[in-house]
Structure 1
Amino acid sequence: MDFGLSEEQRLIVETTRAFVENELYPHEREVERTGVLRRELIEEIKAKAIEAGLYAANMPADVGGAGLDTVTWLLYEKELGRANYALHWTCVARPSNILLAGTPEQREKYLFPCIRGEKWDCLAMTEPGAGSDLRGMKATAVQDGDDWVLNGTKHFISHADLADFAIVFMASGEEDSPRGKRKKITAFFVDKGTKGFAVRDGYRNVSHRGYTNAILEFDDCRLPASQVLGEVHKGFDVANSWLGATRLQVGATCLGRAERALGHAVEYAAQRQQFGQQIGKFQGVSFKLSDMATELKAADLMVFEAGWKYDQGTVTDQDMAMAKLKATEMLAFVADEAIQIHGGMGLMDDLPLERIWRDARVERIWEGTSEIQRHIISRALLRPFGA
């Protein structure tokens, strides 16, 4: 693995960081204090992101994206991760790569408009009674002639209020397994406005202000067979094939925020004086900075090693679980220590630290909780011994 950046990678990092600092940072205070990301602001920043070549940069070049390899994409995600989540995720959108699994007709209807910035997508798996245990979902899709009829509820669905359509995973049958019956899952495209499909306001969230969640309700929502994404009853195959690297994406955005928090902490420790000297000279502060930097470096190496292995075709679920686990827990540690170094000022919203601290909490929950990541890791360690 080459630890140096190519000229192209350096250019992407510099371009993305400049965009974040010039176009996103100036609007953070508004979004944080109001909890609202205005549609006019979305459109304004989106147009600039498209012009800069940063919009839908996660997509392959042959469908209109930037065609970045995984390591370069993670470098880009790390820079975007420095900013308020709603600003970078909504205004510099990265459509779900699960859209690539669609038929040519589905790509024309859903994928390409998302890449052009004409539509937004959202992904709906989680239910009130089924989070980590997706096989426990109760929302159903029942075949009726050539159609499918959907019933049930999904919640915690990110930015569904903005999305033009949802990619919804439904229990579509049962099959035998060594542990008894288990659900078969099918994925569907559901357009907003479809009869029987309603989007309700979600929950107020301490993390990621301006980045909304919603509740999706399906009441005899009828869809033609052409709305199935992938094969019938093969929804897990679709998800596993196309969504694996999202854990690395979470890790990369955590790196960006941690780096920003550490930067503030180092600057403050060098400038703030108490008892006649810079506080950074006190061992209680200097050791915090050392530990923060070391944890950040370790997480950085794990995320980018997993990204490199992803490009080589050698990455394992264990690699990605370790990277996600380390990066998310590192961010919580670095954000907390940065606030401790600043004292009371760290909790004031004049600085981004209290926002980074709040936002860090959800990272250990979504895209697989820390407990799920530990389960994946331990299972991989024990599997050779038949345990």
Structure 2
Amino acid sequence: MVTFTAEHVALRQLVREFAEKEIGPYADDWEANGSFPAHELFPKLAELGLLGLEYDPAYGGQGADHLCTVILHEELGRVGPAGVALGIGIQTDMATPSLHRYGSEELKQRYLVPAISGEAVCAVAVTEPDTGSDVAALTTRAVRDGDDWVINGSKAYITNGTQADWICLLARTSDKPAGGGAGVGLSQIIVPADTPGFHVSRKLDKLGMRSSDTAELTFTDARVPVANTIGEIDLGFYQQMSQFQNERLAMGYAAVGGMETALTRTADYLKTRKVFGKPLIDNQHLAFTLAELSARLDVLRHYNYAAAEAYIRGEDVNRFATVGKLEAGRLAREISATCLQFHGAIGYMEEMWTARYFRDSPVWSIGGGADEVMLYVLSRLDGYHA
């Protein structure tokens, strides 16, 4: 069973207080603006050491264990808005893990250090307008010209895309399968946002997660040094798969925090809202439904903790990450719909938190691999699919 130390408890309190002070009060404004000011918020997170919890202190990280990452995302998800939690997660666990694991010393100094210090905002660009979950079919191409890559193509649905100072791009660098493995011929390449030929095509208008910016990106003869390649050329597919594990774990942790808050706030509302002379919570159906959802959430939370322990032990957590994200997305959708329904008409109003939470929740089942992709992965891991 996972054990949280006094240091973990102190970190939870630190993150919660920060989120309640620096994020929660601005939720409505950031939702209306369609983004949060990452260049203002990230340095504040960095001052507390929250942008590089598990990273090497040589690059400004804290060298902490993975339970600290669990706490960070649970607490960010708990306070919300979810779009901000997602944008921070991109910085800490989706755009930078490969750089930390596989990047050269020069790349780490130039790009990881400012990301951990909050001076640079980063994004990860994998999905394309016509290719999402089938990563091996990506068509954005980087062609070598001497010591440079010349990049052409486009990427879609990129969180932090309009504010990013650099992009962790997954692009095709070869048509020759090295060793016959699936997905080879792709490389992870850092593309600075000021690179000529790189453009933010447009900011996308989303159903939910409106407090984070999401963009389409284009690359037209964008030229960056081959030295900007993270790890080995043509093996970026495998590096990205590893990075996806961090992404899916972080999303699952954040979703749990949001669900806990939603259930608590709904219970508080039902205790004060009277119908037919008594509080709504006295209705057994409502109370039992919340109790069942809370029980399922508790199972998911402890599944996440087991995943975190396995990660700390250095085990393969692919199945953990896949199952956790699948169940988090499904349960979040069910809880969001239930909380809205139990609030009645006021729950349907945009002025209530229930409306935003209902719009935000589907992302946990879409981003980082849709539910159907998670099921495909599981069916192969468990031998149900060839």
Q: Does the TM-score normalized on the shorter chain lie above 0.5? A: yes
Q: Does 1:75 align with 2:76?
A: no
Over 3 Å counting, the alpha-carbon distance change for 1:91 and 1:134 in structure 2 is closer
1:249: Cα distance to partner?
0.2
Change beyond 3 A, Cα 1:97–1:188: same
Aligned pairs, number: 381
Determine helix, strand or coil for the equivalent of 1:245. Answer: helix
Report deviation, 1:34. Answer: 3.6
Partner of 2:7: 8
Residues 202-230 of structure 1 show CA distances to partners (whole Å, capped at 9, x for unaligned) of 32101111311112211122222212221
- Give the Å deviation of 1:180: 11
Name the SS of the counterpart of 2:176 in structure 1: strand
Among all aligned residue pairs of Structure 1 and Structure 2, give the percentage whose two residues are the same amino acid: 28
Q: Paired residue for 2:285?
A: 284
Give the whole-Å Cα distance in 2 for the aligned partners of 1:279 and 1:52: 42
In structure 2, stretches of 5+ residues that fail to align are none
What residue number does 1:306 align with? 307
Superposed, which structure 2 residues align to 1:18-37 within 5 Å? 18-37=17-36
* Cα separation, partners in 2 of 1:206 and 1:266, compared to 1, 3 Å: same
Do the aligned residues in 1 keep the contact of 2:328 with 2:364 (CA within 8 Å)? no
- Partner letter of residue 303 of structure 1? N
Give the aligned residue type for 1:98: S
Aligned partners of 1:324, 1:181: CA distance in 2, in Å? 24
1:98 counterpart residue number: 98
Matched residue type, 1:174: D
Query: How far, CA to CA, are the matches of 1:136 and 1:267 in structure 2?
Result: 48
Corresponding residue for residue 202 of structure 2: 201
Which residue, 56, 61, 64 being the options, matches 2:57? 61
Matched, 1:220 2:224: no
Partner of 2:45: 49
**Partner residue of 1:260?**
261
Alignment of 1:159-174 (within 5 A): 159-174=160-175
1:57 is displaced (CA, Å) by: 3.0
Is 1:186 paired with 2:187? yes
Say which structure, 1 or 2, has more relative contact order (CA 8 Å, 6+ apart).
2
Residue in 2 aligned with 1:269? 270
Please, which moves more after superposition, 90-99 or 4-13?
90-99
Say if 1:81 and 1:88, in contact at 8 Å, map to a contact too: yes
Structure 1 residue 321, shift from structure 2 partner: 0.6
Work out whether residues 78 and 255 of structure 1, in 8 Å CA contact, stay in contact via their aligned partners in 2.
yes
In 2 relative to 1, CA 124–45 (structure 1 residues): closer, same or farther, beyond 3 Å?
Answer: closer
Question: Which of residues 82, 85, 108 in structure 2 aligns to 1:85?
Answer: 82
Output the amino acid matched with 1:70. Answer: H
> Counterpart of 2:357 in structure 1: which amino acid?
I
Quickly say closer, same or farther: Cα 1:317–1:47, change in 2 above 3 A: closer
Q: CA RMSD in A?
A: 2.3
Range 77-86 or range 360-369, more displaced: 77-86
Q: 1:179 deviation in Å?
A: 9.7
Which SS does the other structure have where 2:382 is aligned?
helix
The 2-side partners of 1:354 and 1:58 are apart by: 35
What SS class does the counterpart of residue 342 from structure 2 fall into?
helix
Q: Give SS of 2:19's match.
A: helix
| Code of the aligned partner of 1:23 | E
- Secondary structure of 2:206's aligned partner: coil
Q: State the 1:331 CA deviation.
A: 0.9
Is the CA contact 2:39–2:121 (under 8 Å) kept in the aligned structure 1?
A: no
Q: Decide which moves more: 238-247 or 117-126.
A: 238-247
Deviations 1:173-221 (A, max 9, x none): 2235999996610121111222222122132101111311112211122
Match of 1:111 in 2: 112
Is 1:156 the counterpart of 2:157? The answer is yes
CA distance, structure 2, for counterparts of residue 176 and residue 54 of structure 1: 39
Q: Which amino acid aligns with 1:84?
A: P
Q: 1:284 to 1:356 in 2, by over 3 A?
A: same
Q: Which amino acid aligns with 1:21?
A: E
Is residue 131 from structure 1 mapped to residue 128 from structure 2 by the alignment? no
**Shift in Å, 1:85:** 3.2
Single out whichever of 85-94 and 268-277 deviates more from structure 2: 85-94
Whether the aligned pair in 2 keeps the contact of 1:129 and 1:136 (CA below 8 Å) is no
Range that drifts further, 104-113 or 209-218:
209-218
Counterparts of 1:52 and 1:297, CA distance in 2: 29
- Over 3 Å counting, the alpha-carbon distance change for 1:239 and 1:46 in structure 2 is closer
Q: Cα offset for 1:79?
A: 0.3
Distance in 2, matches of 1:270 and 1:278, equals 5
What is the deviation of 1:11? 0.8
Deviation readout 1:342-385 (Å, 9 max, x if unpaired): 111112233322111111111101111111111111212217xx
- Decide whether the 8 Å contact of 2:125 with 2:170 is kept in 1: yes
Gaps of 5+ in 1: none
1:367 aligns with 2:363: no
Alignment-derived partner of residue 352 in structure 1: 353
* Superposed CA offset, 1:290-343 (max 9, x none): 122012112111211111111112243222111111111111111111111111
CA deviation profile, 1:238-259 (whole Å, cap 9, x unmatched): 2234442211100001011101
Normalising by structure 2, we get a TM-score of 0.92
SS in 2 for 1:244: helix
Q: Deviations for 1:117-162, whole angstroms, at most 9, x for unmatched residues?
A: 1111111111111100011111111122332221111111111211
What SS does structure 1 have at the residue aligned with 2:73? helix
The residue matched to 1:354 in structure 2 has which SS?
Answer: helix
- What is the letter of the counterpart of residue 273 of structure 1? K
Which residue identity does 1:85 align to in structure 2?
Answer: A
Q: Which range moves more in the overlay, 243-252 or 61-70?
A: 61-70
